[in-house]
Structure 1
Amino acid sequence: MTAPGHPAPPVPDAEVVDPDYPVTPVPAHARKSFFSIAVVLLGFTVFTPTMLAGATLGPAFAFDDLVLVILAGSLILGVYVAVMGWVGARTGLTTVVMARYTLGTRGAKLASILLGGTQIGWYGVVVGTIGDLTAEALGWRSYGARAAVMVVTSVLMCATAYWGYRGMYWVSLVSTPLILVLAFWVVGRSLQEVGGLDGLTGVRPTASMAVAVAVTTVVGTFVSAGTQAPNWTRFARRGSHAVWACVIGFLVGNGLMVFFGAIGALTFGEGDFVLVLYQLGLVGWGLVLLFGNLWKSNADTAYAFGVAGAELFDRPSKGPFVIGGAVIGTVLALTGVQNHLVEYLGLLGTFIPPLGGVIIGDFLARWRRRGIPAGTAPPPVRWPNLLAYAVAAFLAWLSGELGIGIPPVIGIVVAIALSTALSRVGSPGGTPVGAGRGPA
């Protein structure tokens, strides 16, 4: 059984079809409920390192202005990801496979390398961070102890991603409520530190930051990962389910984590609630928050580079690429990548959002009304859309260098505008056999 409008896709080399359908549309029988999609996306964005972004905002704004900045950035992020999620539900495809229709079969390899490579790097950063923070909490000084923690946690994350959507759903269902309870409890303790809400609103800024920079910080927390939201929303039964799940995850969930980090910085001088719990002497609960949170988020990361690898090599299973990427990420962690690669990976975040903008613009211009027709293959390269991506990515980078505007937003908006305008230029471009229109 396949989704409406999808002919049964062929199985390359007669291999067993991966139940997560990394390179083919998700069929109707494999679609999930709204609750399931929302749980997975909320688990993805309830990510404690996001608090560090909030910690940079807290001291720079009065409380009312701080709330407005976080709301503005979260709204921009939420709208962008919701549209990406809607496209994913309509097509039933991952971001990197959708890029085949937008950039061509060869052009899409750029998307797979960019998205998959970045995710492997972040995977290594998170695994290394877990090892370092665990060693700090337990007073371990030996490299061997930290390395053992990294390897064990990486195996758990890799196994969860290998299990696929179901693995991420169950880990998110169990861990996310516990993490949120701990976070709200720390917020309560934070308010006690400053004499309640009145004390918090009375805290005066001790630093300065331009509003545009602050909004960019909020948007930048998850805009790169949000570009890959279709990896999960393609399982939604309806496009509206995908939209609301993205709103819950990226506007509410991510916004809360930024807000929590700002509160922690204002009251304890520390944005990461894991370290706040350490300060309060609650090392055990700090480790629960650390492992529960980063386990589910990094499993999503491993899943993302798994499906990117499946597209890159045109294989029907994500499994080998989940394992291979996890091995590479773990080796990077063991070499201390978390101390050197973060700024570089952040720079790549400038170049990822325009990719999502090109996909959105191309879909709205060519496929929105009639869906993606089945039965024909796309050209190797769609040069107009590659040009749109290159221009948008350059302008996003330039805006960051000049300190003008919000780089991710500039990249997305320019990419949508150019890809829409150029959508009918050059080769008409078909689609691979098996593509079609997903649920409304």
Structure 2
Amino acid sequence: MTTLTDPPVAPPRPGNEDYPLGPVPASARRPFISLAPILAGFTLYSGTLFAGGLIGPSFQFWPNLIGLILIGNLILGLYAALLGYIAGNTGLTTVLMARFSFGNVGSRWVDFILGFTQIGWYAWGSALMAQLLNRLAGVPESWNGLIILFFTYAFCSTAYFGYTAMDWLSRLAVPAMVVLMGLSLSIAAGDVGGFAGLQALAIEDPLPLSAAITIIVGTFVSGGTQATNWSRFARNGKVGFIATLIAFFLGNGFLIFSGAFCAKVYGEPDIVQVMVQQGLLVGGLILFFLNMWTTQDNTIYAFSIAGANMFRTSKRTLFVLGGATLALFMAWGGIYAMLVNYLILLGTFIPPIGGIIMADYWIYRRGQFPALESPQPAFRWPGILAYILASAIAYGSNQWGWGIAPVNGIVSAAVLYVLLSKSWPSTEYSQD
């Protein structure tokens, strides 16, 4: 079996590099009160509002809509939380864990697909800021180039300085966003006539239950796969699990609920647009700015972690600036508009990565990864083949409506990985 051992990496420098090539040491671990706001800020993402808007008008408010939101976000939350548990126990990111199940070279596919997805969304977010200011604040479109330039680098500032800067931003921004959204939703509840009014609203074009849950889970499952970038800072696996579960179950659930609620009441899932209708223009702009910042800095941070691992360098901050610059040109060139559907498609191919990593950690390695410095094969074929087959299953599920596509990808990847690992010749797939 061909093995590859990377050259020794210099000890991680303190400060804003945040240990991209090794486990987070005990001295840098953070408490729950620090971790939960960062993860929650990541999940408070504007795109999730539109997912809620897709399902809201199709179901009666209680119990159907509320039940769907709870079930869908519980599935998503448990998936992300299980990865969060592994990250909290090991101090490793998803891309570092992937070395054990995909191989030293094979894991670079994981770096690419996770990094490319994030940089595409970052370009989309920067352009979205310009479009919002055009619509709501009357800023001339001729200024869009400068607006995109400003926000592209402004939003990456906290990611550049690392976990501590993102921590303080999230502690301030998340409560402010919750208060502003709660105010708008309370006004909306009054406008529709309370619970009785919501129950009386007509149902439009009912969606199949499986399709509705797929929308809820699929919207942020790729983000859940990368939540380990922050849950690795947890003091232990239990803290990582609980903080991630709360963020994805409650945080993502709150956004899905808000989009669905606003779509039912006003026919508009975007709560910022709704706040403008309610006469809360300034509040809407503040909400959108905070919403985008807390998601964008997590997005570019995730890209920097993937990039540092791909090139085996501890200089994570270079990838923050380089990724932001790449996103800037993508946004300026309008490429972001063509990328959105492709990036959503990539969301089908990301969840199997998490299924394989969980199966590798709990079943194949019985809860203990080897040291990162131990020799790894260039390609771990059970992981690679399980990924290809599970991605095909997830894609087929998405195309032909076979159950919940992301869940099918996760479960099939885990099962296939275990079966292939046990049947693969030990000389080709031995413990290193």
1:327 equivalent in alignment to 2:325: yes
Give structure 2 stretches of 5+ with no counterpart: 1-5
| C-alpha distance in 2 between matches for 1:36 and 1:372 | 29
Residue identity opposite 2:414 in structure 1: I
Deviations 1:220-272 (A, max 9, x none): 11100100111111111111101111111101110111001011001111111
Contact preservation (8 Å) 1:91, 1:372: no
Distance between the aligned counterparts of 2:260 and 2:12, measured in 1? 50
Cα distance in 1 for residues equivalent to 2:373 and 2:387: 27
What CA deviation, in whole Å up to 9, does each residue of 1:101-126 have, x standing for no partner?
11001001000000001100000011
Aligned residue runs from structure 1 range 30-429, under 5 A: 30-63=28-61, 64-143=63-142, 145-373=143-371, 376-424=374-422, 425-426=424-425, 427-429=428-430
Deviation string, structure 1 residues 269-308 (Cα, Å, up to 9, x no partner):
1111111112223221111011111011010000000010
Which stretch has the larger CA shift, 109-118 or 316-325?
Answer: 316-325
Structure 1 331/370 Cα, relative in aligned 2: closer, same or farther at 3 Å? closer
Shift of residue 147, structure 1, vs aligned partner: 1.9
CA deviation after TM superposition for structure 1 residue 339, in Å = 2.9
TM-score normalised by the chain length of structure 1: 0.92
**Larger deviation: 258-267 or 418-427?**
418-427
Q: Is the 8 A contact 2:361 2:368 kept in 1?
A: no
C-alpha distance in 2, partners of 1:98/1:61?
40
Task: Tell me how many residue pairs correspond in the alignment.
Answer: 422
Does the CA contact (< 8 Å) of 1:362 and 1:423 recur in 2?
Answer: no
Number of the residue aligned with 2:26:
28
Task: Classify 1:231/1:429 alpha carbon distance in 2 versus 1 (closer, same or farther; 3 Å).
Answer: farther
Corresponding residue of 1:436: none
Q: Distance in 2 between matches of 1:342 and 1:374?
A: 35
The answer to whether the Cα contact below 8 Å between 2:12 and 2:19 also exists between their aligned partners in 1 is: no
Moved more, 226-235 or 134-143: 134-143
**Post-superposition shift, 1:16?**
4.0
Query: Displacement, 1:399?
Result: 1.0
Report deviation, 1:49. 2.2
Distance apart, 1:374 and its partner CA: 6.3
For residues 430 and 21 of structure 2, what CA distance do their matches in structure 1 show? 18
2:319 and 2:430 map into 1 onto residues whose CA distance is 29
The residue number in structure 2 matching 1:4 is: none
Contact 2:101–2:380 (CA<8 Å) still a contact in 1?
yes
Q: CA RMSD in A?
A: 1.7
Other structure's SS at 2:313 match: coil
Q: Which AA in structure 2 matches 1:60?
A: S
Q: In the alignment, residue 75 of structure 1 is paired with which amino acid?
A: L
Q: Distance in 2 between matches of 1:38 and 1:110?
A: 29
TM-score, normalisation: structure 2: 0.94
Output the CA distance in 2 between the equivalents of 1:375 and 1:404: 41
Relative distance call for 1:139 and 1:377 in structure 2 (3 A) is same
Rounded to whole Å, the distance in 2 between the matches of 1:87 and 1:14 is: 23
Is the 1:161–1:303 contact (alpha carbons within 8 Å) kept by the matching residues of 2?
A: yes
Instruction: For 1:34 and 1:342, locate their aligned partners in 2 and report how far apart those are by CA, in whole Å.
Output: 34
8 Å CA contact 1:101, 1:430 repeated in 2: no
Corresponding residue number in structure 2 for 1:435 = none
Counterpart of 1:289, as a letter, is L
Shift in alpha-carbon separation, 1:193–1:97, aligned structure 2, 3 A: same
Structure 2 CA distance for aligned equivalents of residues 369 and 21 of structure 1:
22
Kept in 1, the 8 Å contact 2:390–2:409? The answer is: yes
Conserved 8 A contact 1:354-1:393: yes
**C-alpha separation in 2, matches of 1:11 and 1:385:** 25
Offset of 1:42 from its aligned partner?
A: 0.8
Task: Decide whether aligned partners of structure 1 residues 189 and 15 sit closer, same or farther in structure 2, where only a CA change above 3 A counts.
Answer: closer
Aligned equivalents of 1:330 and 1:113: distance in 2? 19
**Does the Cα contact within 8 Å between 2:100 and 2:376 map onto a contact in 1?**
yes
Match of 1:12 among 9, 22, 40: 9
Mapped to 1, the partners of 2:145 and 2:50 lie a distance apart of: 24
**8 Å Cα contact 1:94-1:234 kept in structure 2:** yes
Structure 1, gaps ≥5 residues long: 1-8, 432-440
- Identity over the aligned pairs, expressed in percent? 40
Q: 1:153 Cα deviation (Å)?
A: 1.3
Matched residue of 1:49: which SS?
helix
SS at match of 2:377: coil
Structure 1 residue 11 displacement after superposition: 6.1
AA at the equivalent of 1:296: T
8 Å Cα contact 2:18/2:163 also seen in 1: yes
